[in-house]
Amino acid sequence: MNIFVLLKRTFDTEEKITISGGKINEDGAEFIINPYDEYAVEEAIQVRDANGGEVTVISVGTEEAEKQLRTALAMGADKAVLINTEETSENGDQFTTSKIIAEYLKDKEADLIIGGNVAIDGGSGQVGPRVAELLNIPYVTTITKLEIDGTNVTVTRDVEGDSEIIETSLPLLVTAQQGLNEPRYPSLPGIMKAKKKPLEELELDDLDLEEDDVEAKTKTIEIYLPAKKEAGKVLSGELNDQVKELVHLLHTEAKVV
Amino acid sequence: MTRKVLVLAETRDGSLRNVSFEAIAAAKTVAEGGEVVGVLIGENVSALGAELVQFGADRVVVVEDEKLKQYTSDGYAQGLLAVLEKESPEGLVFGHTSLGKDLSPRIAAKLSSGLISDATAVEVAGGNVVFTRPIYSGKAFEKKIVTDGLIFATVRPNNIAPLAKDESRTGEVAALSVEIKDLRAIIKEVVRKASEGVDLSEAKVVISGGRGVKSAEGFEPLKELANVLGGAVGASRGACDADYCDYSLQIGQTGKVVTPDLYIACGISGAIQHLAGMSNSKVIVAINKDPEANIFKVADYGIVGDLFEVVPLLTEEFKKIKVHS
């Protein structure tokens, strides 16, 4: 089975965000595989181990994403592809990224494409479904279970807390929701092997794309931090009185109940 | 410039979801005086059209088919694309719900358009329609504009105030006949886990538990409080990792991002990962045994104490208020 994973390099979830020069300050920040994409890598490896085939991990971004791609290879993926967009990625949006990925995938005869359901930095969750539409294949988002039998696929999808059991077929694109699996940690032998696994680096030219073809349709005009909250009121006194006071405050001062 | 803006309305258990009215309000801003057209897709949904008009839509287009009884990307895309072809709007607004997140990127790809997801505000400034949206799970915000083509956005529930309902407003509710072809993904079964509660993303009140809840049973007092307040129960990653509850309840950078009117954090320490999912709630209450807990830094009101003592007392006290009002 020919399996592809869409992977994004993102800020660590525990990082504090600061802004300098109108942009998110990346100096000294830790970067990780987007957590939802980690589920995607794990699921791809499990599907391959059960059905045979090959897992290729793709990332669109800068050279720095090589580290996260190596991590995915160390987890057990077979090959990695970095589509280096340098300047384009600075101004690119989800239209840009999905067009590049779809262009790369269009002649790869992918059976299964797995991505995270959302990236924790930009948070738009667009790229997966956009790629599926561009490739004209079905997709299911926010999945928590994937069962493959030949070309028949049964997927469990998280829908705001409820679950839908969906029947569909390969080729298919799915996006991972938390709960899909427990991503493995790369083993030491895995890390050693990953260094020798193929990591192909491509540019727009290699995909016969011009900058104009992938020019963003949207533009960020300002980035800012939320206003700092003033310290709240920690109540004191007998517990019973505190509770009465709290309810009174919520009712009359904050007026939320 | 005035624009024609379409709004995809959404139903749940046969009623319109609140976020649809919020989307109409957002669409009014995008339209700059132009026409706002509601779109209803489903089976036997046309009766809901009048309510969309009462909340500000000028008219409503309805696509009905038995294949559209449940949301599927294939079915809804066919219905909506037919409406888009007929109406040729300059703007399109969805709710940023499970459905909106699933369908909007596909429609954007099909139309080769941009899409601004998860907007929490919309305004017209400097000749542009400017959307505000959280990034890094609410640790920062960006203002974004569409530079080319259709102005397409999804709006986060609970953030844009709906217009006041005007029962005297009337408008055309017209059916559009669309032949819905085969669906490539079919829903075999829906397992309702969230049905007993209110949907987390739309809840006005969220009662959330962390490691301090100590067990699955420990969530019971939180559920009771949520019931009294008509709210939903959420959890921190710690509580989910410890198997006290389902991951579908997780609030945080991984998990759901919520912005209710009232967020009550019970036994939650307040890791950055959790704060990212709830710090933009309007009013935050923290209940924690540890007076040094980080959660108190973002809380508007705090009680230092054992949640198993405080929460039941709160429930009783809120009951009294509910009886009076």
pLDDT tens, position by position, A24-38: 998 889 999 999 999
Q: How far is B170 from chain A (nearest CA, A)?
A: 33
Write out the CATH class of domain B4-175. alpha beta
CA distances from B234 to A186, B170, B197, B258, B308 (A): 32, 39, 10, 9, 17
Residues β-bridged to residue A58? A6, A81
Same domain membership, residue A152 and residue A29: yes
Q: How far apart are CA A19 and CA A91, in angstroms?
A: 17
Going by the annotation, the residues of the binding site of B for FAD are 211, 236-237, 250-254, 267-274, 288
- Quick check: is A103 in a domain? yes
- Quick check: is A45 in a domain? yes
- The tally of domains found in chain A comes to 2
3-state secondary structure of A125: coil
3-state secondary structure of A134: helix
User: What is the pLDDT of chain B when averaged over all its residues?
Assistant: 94
- Quick check: is A86 in a domain? yes
Same domain membership, residue A242 and residue A195: no
Residue B209 confidence (pLDDT): 97
Same domain membership, residue A66 and residue A122: yes
Domain of residue A150 covers 2-213
Q: How far is A63 from chain B (nearest CA, A)?
A: 22
Backbone angles phi and psi of B196, in degrees to 5: -70, -25
Looking at 3.40.50.960, 3.40.50.1220, 3.40.50.1820, 3.40.50.920, the CATH number of the domain B205-323 comes to: 3.40.50.1220
Helix (H), strand (E) at residue B124: strand B121-125
Q: How far is B240 from chain A (nearest CA, A)?
A: 10
Residue B109 confidence (pLDDT): 98
A147 token code pair: 């069962």
CA distances from A233 to A107, A247, B304 (A): 61, 13, 11
CB contact under 8 A, A13 and B276: yes
Mind listing the pLDDT tens digit for each residue in B145-169? 999 999 999 999 999 999 999 999 9
Mind listing the pLDDT tens digit for each residue in A36-57? 999 999 999 999 999 999 999 9
Q: How far is A46 from chain B (nearest CA, A)?
A: 21
B129 token code pair: 């329609």
Residue A99 confidence (pLDDT): 97
CA distances from B194 to B94, B188, B234 (A): 22, 18, 11
- Quick check: is A44 in a domain? yes
pTM to 2 decimal places: 0.92
Range 89-118 of B in CB contact (< 8 A) with A:
97-98, 101-106, 108-110, 112-118
Contacts of A133 in chain B (CB under 8 A): 105-106, 109-110
| Nearest beta carbon to residue B187 from set A13, A166, A220 | A166
Would you say the C-alpha torsion B61, B64, B68, B71 has a positive or negative sign?
A: positive
Contacts of B309 in chain A (CB under 8 A): 239
Q: Side chain identity at A27, as an amino acid letter?
A: D
User: What is the pLDDT of chain A when averaged over all its residues?
Assistant: 94
| Nearest beta carbon to residue B145 from set A154, A169, A219 | A219
Phi-psi region of A70 (alpha: psi -120 to 50; beta: other; left: phi over 0): alpha
For residues B252 and B59, the model is more confident at B59
B289 token code pair: 């045994």
b/e B152-185 (16+ beta carbons within 10 angstroms → b): bbbbbbbbbebeeeeeeeebebeebebebeebbb
Rg (C-alpha) for chain B, rounded Å, is 21
Angle B73-A161-B277 from CA coordinates, rounded to 5°: 105
Given a contact cutoff of 8 angstroms between Cβ atoms, the answer to whether A254 and A129 are in contact is no
Helix (H), strand (E) at residue A73: helix A66-75
CB contact under 8 A, B136 and A240: no
Beta-carbon contacts below 8 Å between A and B: 273
Residue B194 confidence (pLDDT): 59
Query: Smallest Cα–Cα separation from B77: which of A142, A179, A139, A191?
Result: A139
Residue B1 has pLDDT above 60, yes or no: yes
Same domain membership, residue A12 and residue A125: yes
Same domain membership, residue A233 and residue A140: no
Backbone angles phi and psi of B238, in degrees to 5: -55, -45
Would you say the C-alpha torsion A87, A59, A136, A146 has a positive or negative sign?
A: negative
**Residue B217, C-beta contacts closer than 8 angstroms, at least 6 positions apart:** none
Q: Give the pLDDT band of residue B321 (cuts 50, 70, 90).
A: confident
CB contact under 8 A, B142 and A222: yes
Backbone angles phi and psi of A18, in degrees to 5: -130, 160
Residue B325 confidence (pLDDT): 59
Q: How far apart are CA A61 and CA A210, in angstroms?
A: 16
Same domain membership, residue A8 and residue A35: yes
Q: How far apart are CA B287 and CA A220, in angstroms?
A: 38
Mind listing the pLDDT tens digit for each residue in B167-217? 999 999 999 999 999 899 999 999 887 546 677 888 999 999 999 999 999
- Quick check: is A159 in a domain? yes
Helix axis angle for B98-110 and B73-87, nearest 10°, is: 50
- Quick check: is A219 in a domain? no
CA distances from B57 to B7, B42, B166, B195, B278 (A): 8, 18, 11, 29, 31
CB contact under 8 A, A17 and B141: no
Contacts of B298 in chain A (CB under 8 A): 229, 232
Cis bond before residue A171 (omega within 30° of 0): yes
- B4-175 matches B205-323 in fold: yes
What are the extents of the domains in chain B? 4-175, 205-323
CB contact under 8 A, B146 and A218: yes
Contacts of B138 in chain A (CB under 8 A): 226
Q: Side chain identity at B287, as an amino acid letter?
A: I
Mind listing the pLDDT tens digit for each residue in A64-107? 999 999 999 999 999 999 999 986 667 899 999 999 999 999 99
Q: How far is A200 from chain B (nearest CA, A)?
A: 27
Residue A49, Cβ density class (10 Å: 0-12 exposed, 13-18 middle, ≥19 buried): exposed
Contacts of B105 in chain A (CB under 8 A): 94, 98, 124-130, 133
Residue A227 confidence (pLDDT): 83
CATH code for the domain in which residue A27 is found: 3.40.50.620
CB contact under 8 A, A242 and B115: no
